[in-house]
Amino acid sequence: MKLIQTSTRIFFKITSLIAPAMAANIAFQLFQTTRKKVRSKERDFFQNSTHFHVPGNQENIDCYELGNPKGEIVFLVHGWESNAGSMSAIAAKLASLNYRVIAFNFPAHGTSNLKKANLLVCSHAFLNVLGYIKPKDRFSVVGHSFGSAVSAYTLSKVDMQINKIMFLTTPNRISDIFSEFRKMIGLGESSYKLLLQKAQALLGEDPADVNVEDKMKMVKFSQLLILHDLFDKVLAHKNSLNVHKAISNSRMVTTFEVGHYRMLWDEKVLDQIEQYFSPGYVALPKAS
């Protein structure tokens, strides 16, 4: 892996100097390329839930349903290079609380035939699912990592009343993700500027203006709960903390050593989810 990373950095360092536009094009494609992996415990979810398709922009979207068909809907939005099955423990917990739970795979994730995705493509998938389900009443959303950003971005685009939102970690500033990607591959300054231009053309807005905290201010929801591990090695804890500070009707719970992906199966996290989504839950004053 180190050899691949080193060769990649050398490639982008040289190409950025002699052909910055080419380096930007290749980097932009690499940024969107996913590595699909489905773990054995995730496959169980696919087999034990009701599978249905929603028409998508490029292919059908795989959706999975669990729980009470007449219960309040909770949409589960998975993270980057993950899949709906990663949320299976959460789905089971919410189903036991009488919710109608709906999870779906992003394009280029799970069993998708596509190889590339991005914030916009994944947001379109969520919009398609919302349009297909057509919730008549308030619904709730649980997002994990990149799925939290997709949730904020998507819900800011619709005129819907959302009940509870839960982010199991979240990035904040999308420009920070691009900056980290640039450092990882060793992309030169000129190529990086061209990369950001491509991202702006795709999103229709400057990546510097695409922030979870700002998008959440545009969403109509009753309350937000964020869980993030202090020692998260994938997304820094400060991302969630900054979102929490910016949103008045939010609470944040800092976890310790439950990891980034592992938290989706952690009993203490599942207990937090059960408390939050129980009928008798009363929001406490802001805390961190």
Give the pLDDT mean for 76-104.
97
Closest C-alpha among 131, 189, 169, 138 to residue 272? 169
Q: Tens of pLDDT along 21-53?
A: 999 999 999 999 998 888 888 988 998 999 999
How far does the chain reach from its first CA to its final CA, in angstroms? Answer: 37
| Cβ-contact 148, 170 below 8 angstroms | yes
d(CA 10, CA 185): 8
Q: With helix as H, strand as E and coil as C, how does 94-141 read?
A: HHHCCCEEEEECCCCCCCCCCCECCHHHHHHHHHHHHHHHCCCCCEEE
Domains of the chain in sequence order:
1-32+177-205 (no CATH), 37-172+211-277 (3.40.50.1820)
| Cβ-contact 264, 86 below 8 angstroms | yes
Give the pLDDT mean for 77-106.
97
Tell me: pLDDT of 127 over 70: yes
Q: What is the mean pLDDT of the chain?
A: 94
Q: Tens of pLDDT along 154-179?
A: 999 999 999 999 999 999 999 999 99
Residue 1: predicted pLDDT = 40
d(CA 137, CA 114): 33
CA dist list (Å): 194 to 22, 32, 103, 146, 158: 10, 16, 35, 23, 30
Tell me: pLDDT of 285 over 70: no
Residue 2: predicted pLDDT = 43
Residue 288: predicted pLDDT = 46
Residue 87: predicted pLDDT = 97
pTM attached to this predicted model: 0.94
Helix ranges restricted to H, the chain:
2-18, 20-32, 40-48, 88-96, 119-133, 146-155, 174-185, 189-203, 212-216, 237-246, 267-277
Give the pLDDT mean for 73-97.
97
Residue 5: predicted pLDDT = 74
Residue 273: predicted pLDDT = 97
